[in-house]
A and B are shown apart, each in its own frame.
Chain A
Amino acid sequence: MIKVEGLTKVFPGQTIPAVKDLNLEIKEGDVCVLVGPSGCGKTTTMKMINRLYEPTGGKVYIRGEDHMKIDPIKLRLDIGYVIQEIGLFPHMTIYENIATVPNEKKWPREKTKEKVEELMHLVGLDPEIFQNRYPTALSGGQRQRVGVARAMVSDPPIMLMDEPFGAVDPITRARLQNEFLRIQERMSKTIVFVTHDIDEAIKMSDTIAVMNEGELIQHDTPSDLLSAPADEFVANLVGRHRSIKRLHLIRVHEILKEVDRTEPLTEDAKKEEVEKQLEDSDLRTVIVVDRDNKLKGVIGASDLKRKAGEVAGDYCHEVSDTVTDDATLNDALSVMLECGVGYVAVVNEDEMYQGTITLGDLLNVVREDS
């Protein structure tokens, strides 16, 4: 989809090239993350793809076509672009902001409206509430969502994202990343993603391109990068805790199939059933769901003693936190550590109970991999 050959950029008045003889190939539907310390040339590389910077040397091919032969305006209209500062237009409403590219492409009004509303739903902003607001009335996370919606509205096959989640707090950031991955699963765009955060790179990418001082050091899948770093620089970048980093790579639903745990009890199960399952279970806890398979709560040994009642629903207490099935194992681990228990219940988007994973399961994963 995108092929970069011998790409070089020397800024006027400088002798050291910002990007030196870079070769890179990105397959259709892949997320390629450019990662490296600041000043390594990753942003420069990205900006040469949509010709915000003109390359000093080398070629970029978009679907086999030399991008210097495409009119830069036309080229950019077909490449989604998100930057860290977001760059929302303060004098335009959220609707007008997202409609920027459709307006440039002179889409009919109806089509624009339909697409803008669709995109606002996709990034989790209710058009009814938000479309007439101005960017100053939005939180950082909401603005970032608008930025992503604005870049995707005309359905460009390629997206360039420069630290798109850099300016929000860590919790919002993790949520935006998960949402982004969910969207990407459906849309499968070809994405060039720039970040300096190796954890984010591992989590978001199909392939990672590590850059340093304008040169590409290694371009590999995250898994290969972790197990076989090309040199000391890459090894240092991924850090010593590589097995923990692996937890970023695996999603909860991937291991949920393998763990074979007893079915949860419904809230009208008898006390005897609860006692029996409490004996057998490796969790030393019983999960209780309601008739719609929604997570109701858990019962521990102490609940049975302390409370009185006939059925499971009378004994259970609420869980303090859950993870969704598209969260990474790392997210699951942090929930366990935060709640101070050795397990975490997994729910899907609609809060349906999916299963439970334990600290032991995580250990197994790390052990198998290394």
Chain B
Amino acid sequence: MFRTLWVWIGIPLIMIGIVAAMIIYSVNNPTDSIVERMLTYERVFRVIRQHASLLLISMTGATIVGVLGGIMLSRPSLYRAGRVVETIVNIGQTVPSIAILALFYTILGMGFRVAVFALFLYSILPILRNTFAGIDGVDYSIIEAARGMGMHPLRILTKIELPIAFPIIVAGFRTAIVINVGAATLATFIGGGGLGDLIVTGLAVRREMIILNGAALAALSAILLDYLIGKAEERVVKWS
């Protein structure tokens, strides 16, 4: 009981506490008038909110499309296409995130929506790939036993394939979310807002204090999310 509380509430609170303390200190003790003007609670909350929206919308979409796409490609009739898509996805993954944002800027222009769309596309890749690979990796004898005993293909998917592939799908989701948090800091370049705003502003006015606060928040969100997903997975997957 105590351990559970510690894992789920204690450790995350400590992480958040450290960063919060840093922000409170910085806002209350600005080094000069520029920092005082640029680094306010209101602004910090706004960029956090923007960052969270970028993340939430793009990840929700990417998870739905990625998992459904991965399942479809793993069906026997589409399996060959799945292999091809897997290769394309792997190539897509090597393109730097800033290049993706830049690319969509040239096609779709500026703004929050364009940033969300670019992040969405970029996050689909690891989720789709892992869903496909996870289902593809289920031992064939297991599927054959299930078919031989008279399980319906849809039941095999939901009761056997997806649960066995679950840890791999979650690993893909984790990769996606960590990449997404990082890439979302770049959304500011195309007017998408987010934590990147603080960093870029800080760089422009050359005030380390502002840069540091932005960077710490971005790092915190990545580490915290990765940690929580990892712990949640441990709780769900008891069998391996």
Contact = CB atoms under 8 A, between A and B. Distances in A.
Q: Do A and B come from one complex?
A: yes
A75 B141 contact: no
Contacts of A104: 149-152, 155
Nearest to B151: A104
A100 B148 contact: no
A83 B240 contact: no
B208 interface: no
A76 B149 contact: yes
B45 to A, nearest CB: 42
Contacts of B142: 87-90
A122 interface: no
A73 B152 contact: yes
B143 to A, nearest CB: 8
Contact of A52 (B141, B147, B152, B163): B147
Given A87-B141, A90-B142, A134-B239, A52 B148 contact: yes
Interface in A306-363: none
26 contacts: A47-B148, A52-B144, A73-B150, A73-B152, A74-B150, A77-B149, A78-B150, A79-B150, A81-B145, A83-B144, A83-B145, A83-B148, A85-B139, A86-B141, A87-B139, A88-B142, A90-B142, A90-B164, A91-B163, A100-B151, A101-B150, A104-B151, A104-B152, A136-B239, A136-B240, A150-B149
A160 interface: yes
Nearest to B162: A91
Contacts of A76: 147-150
Contacts of B151: 73, 100, 104
A86 B150 contact: no
B126 to A, nearest CB: 22
Given A79-B150, A91-B163, A104-B155, 12 more contacts: A52-B148, A73-B152, A77-B149, A83-B141, A85-B141, A88-B145, A89-B160, A89-B164, A90-B164, A100-B146, A104-B149, A104-B150
Interface residues of A, number: 30
A247 interface: no
Contacts of A79: 150
Interface in B97-125: none
A50 interface: yes
Interface in B131-171: 139, 141-152, 155, 160, 163-164, 166
Contacts of B141: 83, 85-87
A151 interface: yes
A77 B148 CA distance: 8
Contacts of B139: 85, 87
Band of interface residues on B: 20 to 34
Nearest to B167: A91
B142 to A, nearest CB: 5
Nearest to A101: B149
Contacts of B155: 104
Interface of B: 139, 141-152, 155, 160, 163-164, 166, 237-240
A286 B139 CA distance: 56
B149 A100 contact: yes
Interface string A141-169: 00000010011000000001000000000
A123 to B, nearest CB: 17
A268 to B, nearest CB: 56
B145 A86 contact: yes
Interface in A120-152: 134, 136, 147, 150-151
A320 to B, nearest CB: 39
B239 A87 contact: no
A160 B145 CA distance: 11
A53 to B, nearest CB: 11
A50 to B, nearest CB: 6
A124 B118 CA distance: 58
A88 B122 CA distance: 37
Interface string A59-82: 000000000000011111111010
A137 to B, nearest CB: 10
Contacts of A86: 141, 145
Contact of B148 (A74, A88, A136, A160): A160
Contacts of B239: 90-92, 134, 136
Contacts of A73: 150-152
A81 B144 CA distance: 10
Interface centre among B146, B160, B239 (most CB of A within 10 A): B239
A338 to B, nearest CB: 35
Q: Which of A75, A86, A91, A150 has the most B CB atoms < 10 Å from its CB?
A: A91
Contact of A91 (B144, B146, B164): B164
Contacts of B152: 73, 104
Contacts of B144: 52, 83, 87
A89 B150 contact: no
Contacts of B147: 52, 76
A85 B148 CA distance: 13
Contacts of A72: 150
Interface string A19-50: 00000000000000000000000000001001
